[in-house]
Structure 1
């Protein structure tokens, strides 16, 4: 039976957009070659109610399942076609409030939470990308038949370098190279990075990606070096060139960047909060620090920075965990099994 799932996603530049691309690739790799991703302009992320009027005529013809993120899935409900929505994280999460602007809080409370709720209610199946997100979805919207399918990582692409560490980051005199991947926002903990660097030795340097949500305009610390917005190959090279990933995020629905780093054999220092402990195992693949504990992050980084054997041990454990739990071999079959169940109802 051909399922031909259709994924509808306005163009985006964050983890949610990466997530839908990973689902598409994993489902195709698992044998469903007719899976299709329908892209729409970015503004439909904020005006999903207009999607039905903008989609091409016959857009759902020939597809057995329609899937979209919870911000917009409700607008894509079609008679006779199962609708799947994916919840990546909820803007009603109380952890988000202290790190959001007033405008963001108003939008989240009055607009996006409504979109999420409508999608969770209307969907034939609700998929959550972590146990934490599943718990928050059930508590917030009362739906108790959600499905847990973790976000996935292409572990055939995100791999350790076969010859060891790669020199792909900008040149520096650093003995220990740290890497932060994510948007430069308070939710991601970017504001904590300069404070952490102040507590680290002078031969520790932090490389960080640019972002579409430009939280700062200037280099925030003398030992923080921007690396722009690398494509997927560039990102793999950056992970392979780093010694440690530093990711002091305050809230993650899953944690794609830490999972990518672990897949490349790089240990992670991150936060003991939200879904991050589901990705990073404390004292096994990285170190978990309590939220906002600047000294704790610095101590964890220094512990790993001064012990190459421990870094290698944590990296190997993390790589094995990601392959076992978050690889495409798990992601693709899990969704195909769900689609088959929906179509047989």
Structure 2
């Protein structure tokens, strides 16, 4: 098959969504024998090399989040490239102008449209004082997903939500995977911890992912303040980069790795003691799964994405999203009980075995096959 994939950010920033898309494209081309062309904005400083053939789409910087690019449509040169490629499937992954235009392009030509859900965009607005726009965004998202022939969502709960939104059964699961050879407890490195200034008796409390407000940055900072104010030996370990970096740098004793990848990333994650993830905006939570594969117990906001991965009291602890004292008390208990931390870490590692990138990608390929038009 020939698949045209549209993305708002395929490789110029490293995020869970585009990591999943790149994994998918690599699988489709290398293991399924399909041909994929990816249409996305690009920058002069990509975060990583893209999988597949990336066709740059002209774009502009977003004014309020300047790290992001916005394509304003499909110009004639891109339409010509699409026509020459003659896709069997159009896959849209971002509900932006580019992907809406891609839907219209596919509709006019009778090409099946697959949409994949990666982000709760509507939940971002409150973090940037734009809550008044939420009804408009929600209406746009409903139209975007209903305009597609099939929707892929990353958890069973979101699949059920999407079926209700669409009013039909044309939604299915596209889960995620984890490299358990890369992300593994054996990557833990006491010497690395000491080199970062983390004492052997300190608890490295991990924040892992893009450093942005919508990931619960303010909640994390308040929990750190509560724990350190109570005299607990907590050291913030911040793995990632992003526009909210200054908030994390202000935390007493914080260790910031910046953007790291590969073995350096796995070492940093595995060298933590507890993952605290107060985000309620995830659709899946790739970073949670990677920490689990490293054998790190999780303390998380009790949000649908976390409930799909973590059983409360088994792989970690789920707490009300905005209750600082509940997070602090959960972490205090784990600090006081090293054996419970180890037991949860082993359970987290075992649970991560249920997630395979190849199996997840094959589920998408099967969806394409079901939707593909019969040969003329």
Secondary structure of the structure 2 residue equivalent to 1:57 = helix
Q: Say if 2:184 and 2:295, in contact at 8 Å, map to a contact too.
A: yes
Q: Deviation at 1:140? A: 4.5
Distance 1:342 1:260, change over 3 A: same
- Residue 54 (structure 2) aligns with: none
Instruction: Give every structure 1 segment of 4 or more consecutive aligned residues whose post-TM-superposition deviation is greater than 6 Å.
Output: none
Q: Say if 1:188 and 1:251, in contact at 8 Å, map to a contact too.
A: yes
- Residue 291 (structure 1) aligns with: 321
Whole-Å separation in 1 of the counterparts to 2:74 and 2:292: 37
1:1-345 map, 5 Å: 3-11=1-9, 12-28=13-29, 30-32=31-33, 34-41=35-42, 43=59, 47-53=70-76, 55=78, 57-59=80-82, 61=85, 63-72=87-96, 73-77=99-103, 78=106, 79-92=109-122, 99-102=126-129, 104-105=130-131, 109-110=135-136, 112-113=137-138, 115-140=140-165, 142-161=167-186, 164-165=188-189, 167-169=191-193, 170-173=196-199, 175-200=202-227, 201-214=231-244, 216=246, 219-324=249-354, 326-343=355-372
Q: Say if 1:30 and 1:333, in contact at 8 Å, map to a contact too.
A: no
Whole-Å separation in 1 of the counterparts to 2:246 and 2:157: 30
Gaps of 5+ in 1: none
Whole-Å separation in 2 of the counterparts to 1:264 and 1:166: 14
Whole-Å separation in 2 of the counterparts to 1:181 and 1:37: 28
Whole-Å separation in 2 of the counterparts to 1:117 and 1:291: 25
Q: Deviation at 1:278? A: 0.4
Secondary structure of the structure 2 residue equivalent to 1:318 = helix
Whole-Å separation in 1 of the counterparts to 2:100 and 2:24: 19
Gaps of 5+ in 2: 44-58, 61-67
Distance 1:167 1:256, change over 3 A: farther
Q: Deviation at 1:176? A: 1.4
Q: Say if 2:215 and 2:278, in contact at 8 Å, map to a contact too.
A: yes
Paired residues in the alignment total 336
Whole-Å separation in 1 of the counterparts to 2:311 and 2:184: 19
RMSD of aligned Cα (Å): 3.0
Q: Deviation at 1:105? A: 3.4
Relative contact order: is structure 1 or structure 2 higher (C-alpha 8 Å, sep ≥ 6)?
A: 1
Whole-Å separation in 2 of the counterparts to 1:91 and 1:312: 35
Secondary structure of the structure 2 residue equivalent to 1:252 = coil
Which entry has the higher C-alpha Rg, 1 or 2?
2
1:103-145 deviation digits (Å, cap 9, x = unpaired): x4356544x5455334312222111112343344345554542
Q: Say if 1:88 and 1:133, in contact at 8 Å, map to a contact too.
A: no
Secondary structure of the structure 2 residue equivalent to 1:246 = strand
Whole-Å separation in 2 of the counterparts to 1:117 and 1:311: 41
1:156-183 deviation digits (Å, cap 9, x = unpaired): 4323326x54544522225211110133
Q: Deviation at 1:323? A: 2.2
Bigger shift: residues 129-138 or 293-302: 129-138
